[in-house]
């Protein structure tokens, strides 16, 4: 038996409509394919929370910059279908680019979240979050899911999506799922396959370095800029090319003040041809003098 796969919005709507009429709860898991255990974890969580699980696979040109890996991004639809079948997906939506952007992607209306889209990853990948949010909002309108699940590895992406949903009143519950890691701590990502064997060995340093920042904060350090600078130095010494290491207030990603207690430590770093991103949330004790 093959997984139910549709390539057009009209076909998608036909199936979804039946499920809506039957009063079934629908979960959406948006992906760009090349599925790994992190994606499958999202599907499993979706399965537990809804009667119907829709997975989309679409390598979205709008969220790639001109010098990024849109053309070479791994496309493995047939292997993905087998994994989705085994994990209990009800429907795979795999549209071609012309279905998502019939008038061309340059002419499509954009969804832009000010500020949040231009900091951290947004500073290094201009237009990325607008391209991502535009596509995700289109998916929400096409599927009209009750819930949608995203990995917390893409922490800023999750924050942008939550803002869009709140700002334009999309009736969907956004659920963030914990990052799935390899045994040595490296966050799972389709882009990890760009690493050579020696780079792959070095890659878990990113997560370890974030962990050290977190430990330092738990031990009372609040000199955020110095902590960031130390972490950047560590990554550079090991041959990585970090874009940033940043300590921010969890969820909002705003710059923390001395009294903040809920943080996220985020980083992006190049290692060879792979751009790795990762983050750890941390809650610290209130200051004794506060």
**Residues with a known catalytic role:** 39
CB of 151 vs ligand PAF, minimal distance in Å: 7
- Of 4-12, 25-33, 140-148, 234-242, the segment contacting ligand PAF by CB under 6 A is 25-33
Whose Cβ is closer to ligand PAF: residue 135's or residue 267's? 135
CB of 132 vs ligand PAF, minimal distance in Å: 5
Residue with tokens 């819930």: 147
Crossing angle of helices 128-143 and 155-167, in 10° steps, is 60
| Strands, sheet with 91-93, edge to edge from the N-terminal-most edge strand | 5-6, 91-93, 52-57, 26-31, 147-151, 173-177
CB of 11 vs ligand PAF, minimal distance in Å: 20
| Strands, sheet with 274-283, edge to edge from the N-terminal-most edge strand | 241-249, 262-271, 274-283
Asked if residue 30 binds ligand PAF (CB under 6 A), the reply is: yes
- Of 40-48, 75-83, 128-136, 168-176, the segment contacting ligand PAF by CB under 6 A is 128-136
How many CA atoms does the CB half-sphere of 60 hold within 13 Å? 22
d(CA 290, CA 288): 6
Whose Cβ is closer to ligand PAF: residue 31's or residue 152's? 31
Residue 158's φ and ψ, nearest 5 degrees, are: -60, -40
| Footprint of ligand PAF on 148-167 (CB under 6 A) | 154, 157
Asked if residue 172 binds ligand PAF (CB under 6 A), the reply is: no
Interacting residues toward ligand PAF by CB under 6 A: 30-32, 60, 63, 132, 135-136, 154, 157
């Amino acid at each position: 038996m093959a997984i139910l796969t549709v390539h057009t919005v009209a076909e998608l709507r036909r199936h979804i409509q039946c499920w809506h009429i039957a009063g079934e709860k629908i979960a959406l898991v948006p992906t760009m394919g090349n599925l790994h255990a992190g994606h499958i974890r999202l599907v499993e969580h979706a399965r537990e929370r809804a009667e119907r699980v829709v997975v989309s696979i679409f390598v979205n040109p709008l969220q790639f910059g001109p010098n990024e890996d849109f053309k070479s991004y791994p496309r493995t639809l047939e292997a993905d279908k087998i994994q989705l079948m085994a994990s209990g997906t009800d429907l795979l939506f795999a549209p071609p680019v012309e279905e998502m952007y019939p008038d061309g992607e340059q002419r499509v209306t954009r969804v832009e979240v000010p500020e949040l889209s231009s900091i951290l990853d947004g500073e290094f990948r201009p237009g990325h979050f607008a391209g991502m949010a535009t596509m995700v909002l289109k998916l929400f309108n096409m599927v009209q899911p009750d819930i949608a699940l995203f990995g917390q590895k893409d922490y800023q992406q999750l924050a942008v999506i939550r803002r869009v949903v709140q700002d334009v009143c999309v009736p969907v519950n956004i659920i963030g799922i914990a990052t799935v890691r390899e045994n040595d701590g490296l966050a799972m990502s389709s882009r990890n396959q760009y690493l050579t064997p020696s780079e792959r060995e070095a890659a878990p340093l990113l997560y370890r370095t974030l962990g050290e920042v977190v430990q330092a904060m738990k031990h009372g350090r609040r000199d955020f800029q110095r902590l960031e600078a130390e972490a950047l130095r560590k990554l550079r010494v090991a041959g990585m090319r970090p874009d940033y290491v940043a300590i921010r207030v969890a969820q909002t990603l705003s710059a923390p003040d001395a009294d903040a207690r809920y943080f996220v430590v985020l980083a992006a770093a190049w290692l060879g041809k792979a751009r790795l991103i990762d983050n750890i949330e941390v809650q610290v004790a209130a200051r004794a003098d506060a």
